[in-house]
Amino acid sequence: MQYNQFLKFLREQERSKLTIQTYARDLEIFIEWFKQETGRIPEPDTVTPLDIRDFKGQLETMELKPATINRKLSALRSYFKWAQQVKFTAINPMIGIRDKPQSQQAPRWLERKGCHALIRAAEERVQLADSKRIPVKMTATAREARRDAAILALFLHAGLRLAELCNLYQDDLSFGERKGSATIRSGKGGKWRQVPLNRDVRRELKRWLNVRPDIDQSHLFIGRRSRPLGPRGVRHVIERLAKHADISEVSPHVLRHTFAKNLIDAGTSLDRVATLLGHSNLNITRRYTTPSQTDLASEVERIAWSEEE
């Protein structure tokens, strides 16, 4: 199926590692399904629209979410478009194959109370670590508490993606007297952008940089072994803070959504929100204008006539 050549093409296009891994996994599922159904390995010029419809039907019988089915179809769509461009097939079997309809749902974000609880949890960890350390000596726990507070601030107040935060270097930060910014060199699709840093982020970053070990490692965030903090480590940081704040289902992606929602609620225009988030398509940003259940409940309460119970 020229599977490896397609993945090589994606890498040459500087698609993100996560995108390539997801496409690879979805294509492998199709390949295995095709082999079981036909007893043959699928080649670009032997797959028909009927095969695709049967595969889509199989996915539907598995009661997968529409978004999951559409993601797998998207992987096939990208693959066969590439196969046609490089002359592996004359006909694209994805032509006429529609995505499964899905309702527009608002991304999950934290309400203001949840944001305050997380920030409070981060600050409490700093204070607790400081109360236990020997005067003048900075302990690993106290140092990590400041690092974790800076990580939380970047997610909540700058809306970085997980991979973008992990790939930040010290030299990517710029501080002035009353402003600052972070240069994102590893955005989605290899795009470059500059993200302004408000005073809360600048304060937390400076607190971390003041205690960050002076080692031969240029990544901004490092672990106890002086190695760059990876995605798993960062997720663990957020999960630990969420547990301390007694909040469930918090992730770096939820914090990025929270940043976007707060901007929308503050009246920031869609084009500016898209620029800050690194979106190339306004339709992606427009999701944050979809009201949540809390938003809808607040609107309904506005027309209540009775007094508070």
Annotated catalytic residue within 15, 147, 256, 257: 256
Q: Does the active-site annotation cover 188?
A: yes
Q: Does the active-site annotation cover 147?
A: no
Q: Does the active-site annotation cover 100?
A: no
For the chain, the three-class secondary structure string (H helix, E strand, C coil) is CCHHHHHHHHHHCCCCHHHHHHHHHHHHHHHHHHHHHHCCCCCCCCCCHHHHHHHHHHHHHCCCCHHHHHHHHHHHHHHHHHHHHCCCCCCCCCCCCCCCCCCCCCCCCCCHHHHHHHHHHHHHHHHHHHHHCCCCCCCHHHHHHHHHHHHHHHHHHHCCCHHHHHCCEHHHEEECCCCEEEEECCCHHHCCEEEECCHHHHHHHHHHHHHCCCCCCCECCECCCCCECCHHHHHHHHHHHHHHCCCCCCCHHHHHHHHHHHHHHCCCCHHHHHHHHCCCCHHHHHHHHCCCHHHHHHHHHCCCCCCCC
Annotated catalytic residue within 15, 56, 146, 188: 188
Q: Does the active-site annotation cover 169?
A: no
Q: Does the active-site annotation cover 279?
A: yes
Annotated catalytic residue within 72, 77, 147, 161: 161
Q: Does the active-site annotation cover 288?
A: yes
Annotated catalytic residue within 203, 253, 286, 287: 253
> Which are the catalytic amino acids?
161, 188, 253, 256, 279, 288
